[in-house]
Amino acid sequence: MKWKKGIMTCLAGTLLLAGCGAKKEETAVTKEKETATTEAVSGASEHQSTPLEELKDSYDVIIVGAGGGGMSAAIEAKDKGLNPVIFEKMPVAGGNTVKASAGMNASNTHYQKEQGIEDNNDLFFEETLKGGKETNDQELLRYFVDHSAEAIDWLDGLGIELSNITTTGGMSVKRTHRPADGSAVGQYLVDGLQRNVYEREIPLFTNADVKEIIEKDGKVSGAKVTFNNKEEKEIKSKAVIVATGGFGANLEMVSEYNPDLKGFVTTNQEGSQGDGIKMIEKLGGQVVDLEQIQIHPTVEQETSYLITEAVRGEGAILVSDEGKRFVNELETRDNVSAAIIALPEKAAYLIFDASLRERVKAIDFYDEQGLVKQGDTIEDLAKTLALKPDVLKETVDTWNQAVKDGKDAEFDRTTGMEHELSQAPFYAIKIAPGIHHTMGGVKINTNAEVLDKDGHVIPGLYAAGEATGGLHGKNRIGGNAVADIIIYGRQSGNQASEYVKAN
């Protein structure tokens, strides 16, 4: 079995609304389709699928989707003594997880303690609840924060160490864990999880599209799977875990639930079509918050690459075409996006220096793609961007003084202020908002069990990650999606194991 490391280490981005200066939806959709194959190969770990002749008629548990949530579930199920199988409809494993950039949020971790970062679960809970406009499912959120440090430990045990800590919007302390070199978390995480799946000899079939979840006598009994777009088989199991991601690449579905987003393209990989949500709805499963669809503030518009929030978390500022700051850069994503869209130009520039570039390795990738502008001085950079040199210089000088004083008098920013922007050369990336995450999905309880419309558990059916809804409320905090797939991916594997053993 051949394993290769992919080359993409950042999120693919999106374009703005057509009404906000974006390309038309038809053009965006065409572009999405044209890049899908390339993105799938370059943005995920290449994996030689388990040969179809090794397919069995039944498994203890079927896992739908080979992103971070699905692979975490499979590893837990296997370690609990079960015989799981993973079915992934795309040609490669990784899903949206491979596109994750900022990191994984967790509180009270051993890495935080070792680095002198004071944090606790209650603060993590309160800040996530505030970020979600206090509409989060608080039971799901409580379990989430209370098991976040344990999830970091679990990853350590798999050889996946997230020891470099930064911050994201809406967080008051550093709790966003990423690889030691400061690189994007997604590729590293997928490589590590996939390695562990391989070592445990867990069968992972790609080009395996689960079309239907089967029920018998009121319990889940398997799934219908189409292989290589032609051969359909019915595979039996006592439990099914749905980890198919959200519906961010299904532009019709996005527009149906939030018409204001018509015209946006997406950061999501092509496979995020809402398949799992639709299958569960057919079984009578309950859905929540489908209209809650997040846009991300920092997307490079020409190439559609998302620029990681870690750039702002490490101290970058945003300036308008006037060369002035206009927002607390580490406000929640919805507020920063709204501030950018409110500008006459509907776009802004991320400004940072050589020191910050060293701390955020993803910038090297952006530079390779031609996204980064450079100047030997702030004035030189301003000229490159067609901004007024004296205005941008004054903006950066004011910011550096705020860093020295530990107080941002202009916008009351309190995080990402450890470093001045003073080390030449200086850099900029032009960005604007774009669709990023679907926060709604199927309703689960803290055991990751799917609930029907009456609030009852559907026996043998579990879900995790972006296919589920409720955890994030009306706005997701950056770094919480990766935590979600690991924490609830693990929980779904554990609980499915207990269910299978008892039945």
Determine the 3-state secondary structure of 170 from DSSP: coil
413 is catalytic: no
Could you tell me the two tokens for 194?
Answer: 């996939």
Instruction: Classify residue 51 by its DSSP letter.
Output: P
**Cα angle at 115 between 113 and 117, to 5 degrees?**
65
- Per 3-state DSSP, what percentage of the chain is helix, strand, and coil (rounded to 5)? 35, 20, 40
Distance of CA 383 to the CA centre of its chain: 35
First-last CA distance in the chain: 34
Based on C-alpha coordinates, what's the Rg of the chain? Answer: 22
Instruction: Classify residue 24 by its DSSP letter.
Output: P
Question: How far is residue 153 from each of residues 113, 177, 219, 359, 364, measured CA to CA in Å?
Answer: 13, 12, 34, 24, 29
CB 462 within 8 A of CB 241: yes
Quote the CA–CA distance of 319 and 350 in Å, as a whole number.
Answer: 7
CB 492 within 8 A of CB 448: yes
| Given 333, 357, 359, 413, the catalytic residue | 333
Determine the 3-state secondary structure of 434 from DSSP: strand
Instruction: Classify residue 301 by its DSSP letter.
Output: T
Determine the 3-state secondary structure of 322 from DSSP: coil
Residue 155 neighbours by CB under 8 Å, 6+ apart: 161, 162, 189, 192, 486
According to the model, what pLDDT value does residue 421 have? 98
Determine the 3-state secondary structure of 210 from DSSP: strand
Quote the CA–CA distance of 32 and 266 in Å, as a whole number.
Answer: 8
The three-state DSSP-derived secondary structure of 357-419 is: HHHCCHHHHHHHCCCCEEECCHHHHHHHHCCCHHHHHHHHHHHHHHHHHCCCCCCCCCCCCCC
The domains found in the chain, sorted by start residue, are: 49-292+439-502 (3.50.50.60), 296-435 (3.90.700.10)
- Kindly report the backbone phi and psi dihedral angles of residue 457, in degrees, each rounded to the nearest multiple of 5, phi listed first: -70, 135
Q: Are strands 449-451 and 219-227 parallel, antiparallel or unpaired?
A: unpaired
Residue 298 host element (H or E): strand 293-300
Determine the 3-state secondary structure of 275 from DSSP: helix
Quote the CA–CA distance of 156 and 106 in Å, as a whole number.
Answer: 13
pLDDT per residue of the chain (503 residues) written in tens, 0 to 9: 333 333 233 333 332 232 333 333 333 333 333 333 333 333 444 556 899 999 999 999 999 999 999 999 999 999 999 999 999 999 999 999 998 888 999 999 999 999 999 999 999 999 999 999 999 999 999 999 999 999 999 999 999 999 999 998 899 999 999 999 988 899 999 999 999 999 999 999 999 999 999 999 999 999 999 999 999 999 999 999 999 999 987 888 988 999 988 877 677 788 889 999 999 999 999 999 999 998 889 988 888 788 998 999 999 999 999 999 999 999 988 899 999 999 999 999 999 999 999 999 989 999 999 999 999 999 999 999 999 999 999 999 999 999 999 999 999 999 999 999 999 999 999 999 888 899 999 999 999 999 999 999 999 999 999 999 999 999 999 999 999 999 999 999 999 999 999 99
Distance of CA 314 to the CA centre of its chain: 19
Instruction: Classify residue 34 by its DSSP letter.
Output: H
Q: Tell which residue, 112, 105, 115, 60, has the closest CA to residue 309.
A: 105
According to the model, what pLDDT value does residue 214 have? 97
Q: Please, what sign has the CA dihedral across residues 257, 260, 263, 268? A: negative
**Peptide bond before residue 203 is cis, with ω within 30 degrees of 0:** no
Q: Please, what sign has the CA dihedral across residues 354, 190, 209, 489? A: negative
CB 69 within 8 A of CB 465: yes
CB 80 within 8 A of CB 502: no
The number of residues in the chain equals 503
Quote the CA–CA distance of 18 and 28 in Å, as a whole number.
Answer: 10
